[in-house]
Homo-oligomer: A and B are copies of this chain.
Amino acid sequence: MFKGILKGYFMKLILTAASLFLLSISTITHASSPTKQLLTDAQSDPNKLQLMVGFPPPVNKRITLPDSNFFSFPKLRWSVCHMRELLPTTSIARNPYSYTPLKYALLPDIDELTFKPSNSNNLMTWQQSLAANYTDGMLILHKGKVVYERYRGCLDEHSKHAAMSMTKSLTGLVAEILIAQGKLNDKALVKNIIPELTNSAFGDATVRQVMDMTTALKYSEHYADPNADIWQYSYAANPLPKPKEYTGPVGYFEYLQTVQKQGQHGAAFGYKTVNSDVLGWIVSKVTNKKFDELASELVWSKIGTEHSADITVDGLGTPFAGGGLSATLRDLARLGLAVANQGEINGVQVIPVKAIASIQTGGDKSAFSKGGFSSMPNGSYRSMWWHFHNANGAFAARGVHGQTIYIDPTAEMILVRLASHPVAANGVIDPTSLPAYQAVADFLMAQSKEN
């Protein structure tokens, strides 16, 4: 019946709207093979393409509903900087009266560093890696100071860029703070916090299993299958109007109640965005506050941000805790800095040290190995942060199309990249990224020894 009512013009409209929104939620984890025909970084520069330039922009330069998918390449090279112009959003507020300036000690030599991509035998310079990865913004902190900062494509120092699934890491941090404050018990069953989820897959999962995405869900994100669950999730979450005849779930919260269980919780990591939205619901239920309020109160207003962040909302005003964040490069660096500094900013403990310590523990490697992330063979996932378990103990927030906050505690390095790579899956982007990060870390550690 759900499908029966979607027909004719109406179906086209809804499908278009849903696919737009779907791509904005970006849970794509499997690589499509990059083809030779793709425009390069320079060719797809939105300034060079003059996307959306003019009053009004010429028809062939428009990124507009519904004829064009705003998250298709190369349009996404513009859209990643303009999410609030495309979708309803709310604000994650900064402290209106003060911010913490970043300290600078720039190291121009970084551009000339070389590394060997893991999928090639040819050396690449750091500077070349920026273009190879369709980088929009890159900021590197070493020992708390900015050593490198670049803006490219649609981004400048004050514009906000889609963080995609890095949003999840903010959600995980909010949950860890509430746990540290004694307001949330990660051993509790979800149904005891959200009675509405009792009969869903999440009902008998623990909060921890949701946080670490080891829930066992009958839930498919296979985009090629028109009956995949992700499509119905998109219908429900899309903030655009629904037909009067639509009887399916409305918004994230109602949809989540329909997800059914398949298997045993705790056995395997399964990267599914619905977990993040359940966690967004959990933190709201235990505090009686909206996610945007919590993220502001517990994190964004505490870490010295220059700008409020934006977050997309569903048709009921619920923030998209699984992928809706947009923020400036510098403010995301401040988030990384607060986490890397164990919650301390300028000598003040603004985030409980226990919250960071719990994230940094890392997740269940055995469960993770069943999750299908071959580019992270030794990895794990905890509290919605990715752990590499490499020699330097690096961990990261990651989002499709190349977003990352990469924290290397050994090198005392935090690296933030915002990007609009044509391929969503980070597995495709990692070969020219992870070895490059390691090269910078090695360089910075060598610098430290010299000084």
Q: Report which A residues bind B (CB closer than 8 A).
A: 8-10, 12-13, 16-17, 52, 55-57, 62, 64-67, 82, 84-91, 93, 96-97, 99, 158, 239-245, 250-251, 253-254, 281, 284-285, 306-308, 313, 315-318
Contact = CB atoms under 8 A, between A and B. Distances in A.
A316 B52 CA distance: 8
B64 A158 contact: no
Contact of A90 (B64, B84, B91): B84
A244 B67 contact: yes
Contacts of A66: 241-242, 244
A65 B317 contact: no
Nearest to A287: B55
A315 B65 contact: yes
Nearest to A96: B306
A interface SS class? loop
B89 A316 contact: no
A10 B55 CA distance: 30
Contacts of A65: 239-242, 315
B55 A253 contact: yes
B55 A16 contact: no
A315 B64 contact: yes
A93 B307 CA distance: 10
A222 to B, nearest CB: 25
Contacts of A88: 84-88
Contacts of A244: 9, 12, 66-67
B241 A56 contact: no
Q: Which 5 A-B pairs have the closest CB atoms?
A: A66-B241, A65-B241, A56-B253, A55-B284, A9-B10
A65 B88 CA distance: 12
Contacts of A241: 13, 16-17, 65-66, 240
Contacts of A307: 96
Given A56-B253, A242-B66, A158 B317 contact: no
Contact of A13 (B10, B96, B97, B251): B10
A291 to B, nearest CB: 9
Nearest to A57: B316
B316 A64 contact: yes
Nearest to A318: B56
A254 B59 CA distance: 11
Given A240-B240, A244-B12, A56 B90 contact: no
B90 A85 contact: yes
Contact of A62 (B52, B67, B87, B316): B316
A13 B242 CA distance: 8
Given A84-B90, A97-B99, 19 more contacts: A9-B243, A9-B245, A10-B13, A52-B317, A55-B253, A55-B318, A62-B316, A64-B250, A64-B316, A65-B239, A65-B241, A65-B242, A66-B242, A67-B244, A82-B90, A82-B317, A84-B84, A85-B317, A240-B241
Contacts of A306: 96-97
A441 to B, nearest CB: 31
Contact of A93 (B90, B99, B158, B318): B158
A250 to B, nearest CB: 7
